[in-house]
Amino acid sequence: MHSDTRQFKRRDFLRTCGWAMSALAVGALRRPVEAALASPPQADLTFIKREMPLRLRHEWTAIPPNTFRLRLADDRGYNRITLHHAGTEVVRVTSERAVVRCLDGVLGGHLRRDFGDVGYHFIIDYAGRVWEGRSLAYWGAHVAGHNEENLGVVLLGNFEHQRPSAAQVKSMEHLVHVLRARYRIPSHEVYGHIDLGQTLCPGRYLYPQVQRLSQMA
């Protein structure tokens, strides 16, 4: 079965949210609705929702995942967390409508590259909102060769060129705390993408905060 674990290419990220939204989302929408499955497995996200607000995937997109291209997570579960930046242009939008356009852009880009869905499990916007990406029922597609058992969290923005907002960092810390508790993940299993692959992700202005999380007790 084809899966979407192919390597992320950095140049694919060097797009603006606007460009990605307009060009890629159209491509995604044109994709046959064959992608739709009646009822893909849902992950129980109660453990997050009782700790912090979480916007579910269906609240920001009507495009279903192409589950034929996804790989179901298995009994091993998740034992590490990898943090990313979107790596597009500088993003400081905070309105829900503008954020959804960015999310559409990320999703559209991944679908156009034949990923079955957005590659990350969670997305954190500049205002600090947390959005569900790919269902936890499926392994993510965010670190080449390291997608199994690996939770993927992305912060919108390019932290080579901007600093994350305080709200974004706070939400990242909170989400990582909740995920670690749920899956009993030790802090040294919290990574920046750069720890696992040849990339600048999550960017020089975010990586120190990631390192701090990976060194917590």
- In one-letter notation, the amino acid at residue 49 is K
Quick one: which of 24, 141, 201, 206 contacts Zn ion (CB under 5 A)? Answer: 201
Which residues inside 74-103 make contact with Zn ion, applying CB under 5 A? 84
Does 121 sit near Zn ion (CB under 5 A)?
no
Measured from the CB of residue 29, what is the shortest distance to Zn ion in angstroms? Answer: 25
Choose the binding region for Zn ion from 56-64, 169-177, 183-191, 197-205 (rule: CB under 5 A). Answer: 197-205
CA–CA separation, 27 vs 22, rounded Å? 9
Rounded to the nearest 5 degrees, what angle is found at the Cα of 18, between the Cα atoms of 15 and 21?
A: 90
Choose the binding region for Zn ion from 37-45, 111-119, 124-132, 190-198 (rule: CB under 5 A). Answer: 190-198
Measured from the CB of residue 179, what is the shortest distance to Zn ion in angstroms? Answer: 17
Does 193 sit near Zn ion (CB under 5 A)?
yes
- Taking the least distance from each CB to Zn ion, the nearer of 93 and 196 is 196
Measured from the CB of residue 41, what is the shortest distance to Zn ion in angstroms? Answer: 25
Using CB under 5 A as the binding criterion, the count of chain residues that bind Zn ion stands at 3
Give the helix/strand (H/E) hosting 206.
none
CA–CA separation, 184 vs 181, rounded Å? 5
- Taking the least distance from each CB to Zn ion, the nearer of 96 and 160 is 160
Closest by CA position to 136, among listed 108, 97, 175, 104 = 175
DSSP string, 127-186: T--EEE-S-TTB---SSTT--TTEEEEEESS-TTTSPPPHHHHHHHHHHHHHHHHHHT--
Does 57 sit near Zn ion (CB under 5 A)?
no
Q: What is the residue whose two structure tokens read 């696992």?
A: 196
Under the rule (CB under 5 A), what is the footprint of Zn ion?
84, 193, 201
